[in-house]
Chain A
């Protein structure tokens, strides 16, 4: 079964760093882009960027460039999303999804991030 499994919920303080993960299985992880999508509380979906695990080519939406870093470790079929200094406004659910032919054809279960002092 093709699936993406994300790391668990996080509670962090402003200024802290964080790296969340997205592990793929059931398909060739290096052949497809992984997209990261944010959903702030009660709000819509925002496309943050994409990363190609085969060569770690990463492309960011203008709104997220410089705010987060995407990376991947193809040896363990895992993509990552990283913050160096969290803000309260980073609170939300973060989804990874596989991109196939431009479609986000299946998604991880989401990682809930709460940033609060």
Chain B
């Protein structure tokens, strides 16, 4: 049972917009910790997609965007493309964990 809750799967057709939620609590996201999002393409290591809840690293397309409100965060992907099919993980910190991070359970995005 992950501290951060994500839907196991989402899907969308090419060109559509999808969102992935990440629900935490008052001891993690709600405590003010930023949320990160990672993309894991099949057979590869994860890659940082969003940091500081809303910021994209250099080289990440602006089709990906992040938001945060209260004890939850979301990742939005617009203009869905086949290459976006991957697993997506949110990550934050928790007041109980002495600077060790926590991941959500992950969401499998399928492009129909």
Q: Which residues of A are in contact with B by a Cβ distance under 8 Å?
A: 35, 37, 44-47, 49-50, 59-62, 95, 97, 101-110
Contacts and interface: CB of A to CB of B under 8 A. Distances in A.
Contact of A102 (B57, B87, B93, B103): B93
B102 interface: yes
B105 interface: yes
Interface stretch (B22-30, B41-49, B64-72): B41-49
Given A61-B97, A102-B93, A109 B45 contact: yes
A44 B105 contact: yes
Contacts of B97: 61-62
Secondary structure call for the A interface: strand
Contacts of B51: 101-103, 105
Interface in B74-112: 87, 89, 91, 93, 97-106
A103 B48 contact: yes
B45 A107 contact: yes
- A-B pairs with lowest CB-CB distance, top 7: A44-B106, A107-B45, A103-B51, A45-B103, A47-B101, A61-B100, A44-B105
A55 B89 CA distance: 30
